[in-house]
């Protein structure tokens, strides 16, 4: 009888250890697992006004326990006429990836987000409602407007930022962010 109890206990412990090990690996809380980099590909300006150029840059591509990646969208008026854009460079609206689980969220400093836990760049706040305000930012010929963002995990997903390709449909253009393990 003691032998059966011992075997049952051992089997339960072994099965639980395997499950718990997988949970810890997917939550990405250890420093080694949170080391990731962000890069940009497939920048397009489909749907943008004529004369508007989009440049997407990653200024700090590394996601660590202490900081997340930082990037910017730069809209330049390469035309001859003044453009009126629905953007606010001082407080850019949030941008969600097309994919939502896993997904990414670009947030500006204006939103002052808080992390769910140290090392996990997922905001505590569940929703970031885009204001129902129409911005009227005038971009003169030759002028550039820069919108700066930090890269976060979509707040509705389980876990932290996951490696993968994330498509972003911007107000004036599109791009793909690739998150890779370092």
pLDDT, position 32: 44
Structural domain of residue 122, as residue ranges? Answer: 31-181
**Is 9 part of any domain?**
no
Domain of 131, CATH number, reads: 2.60.40
Tell me 33's DSSP state: H
pLDDT, position 69: 96
**Is 91 part of any domain?**
yes
**Is 66 part of any domain?**
yes
**Is 7 part of any domain?**
no
pLDDT, position 17: 46
pLDDT, position 130: 67
Is the CB of residue 87 less than 8 Å from the CB of residue 75?
Answer: yes
* Number of compact structural domains in the chain: 1
Q: Per the structure block, which two tokens stand in for 137?
A: 């930012």
Which residues, given as ranges, of the chain have pLDDT below 50?
1, 3-32
Strands annotated E in 15-154: 36-44, 52-60, 62-63, 70-77, 83-85, 95-100, 103-107, 115-117, 120-123, 137-139, 144-153
Q: Which of these, 177, 139, 151, 169, lies nearest to 53 by C-alpha position?
A: 139
Note if the pTM is more than 0.95.
no
**Is 15 part of any domain?**
no
Interval 41-65: pLDDT, tens: 999 998 899 999 999 999 999 999 9
**Is 1 part of any domain?**
no
**Is 13 part of any domain?**
no
């Amino acid at each position: 009888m003691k032998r059966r109890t011992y075997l049952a206990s051992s089997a339960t412990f072994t099965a639980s250890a395997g499950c718990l090990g997988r949970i810890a690996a997917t939550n990405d809380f250890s420093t080694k697992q949170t080391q990731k980099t962000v890069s940009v590909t497939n920048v397009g300006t489909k749907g943008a006004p004529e004369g508007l150029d989009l440049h997407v840059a990653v200024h700090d591509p590394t996601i660590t326990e202490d900081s997340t990646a930082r990037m910017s969208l730069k809209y330049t008026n390469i035309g001859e006429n003044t453009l009126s854009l629905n953007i606010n460079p001082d407080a850019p609206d949030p941008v969600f990836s097309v994919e939502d689980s896993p997904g990414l969220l670009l947030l500006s400093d204006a939103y002052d987000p808080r992390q769910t836990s140290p090392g996990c760049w997922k905001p505590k706040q569940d929703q970031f409602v885009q204001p129902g305000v129409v911005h009227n930012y005038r971009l003169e010929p030759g002028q550039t407007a820069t919108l700066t963002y930090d890269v976060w995990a979509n707040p509705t997903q389980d876990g932290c930022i996951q490696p993968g390709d994330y498509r972003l449909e911007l107000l004036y253009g599109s791009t793909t962010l690739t998150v890779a393990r370092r």
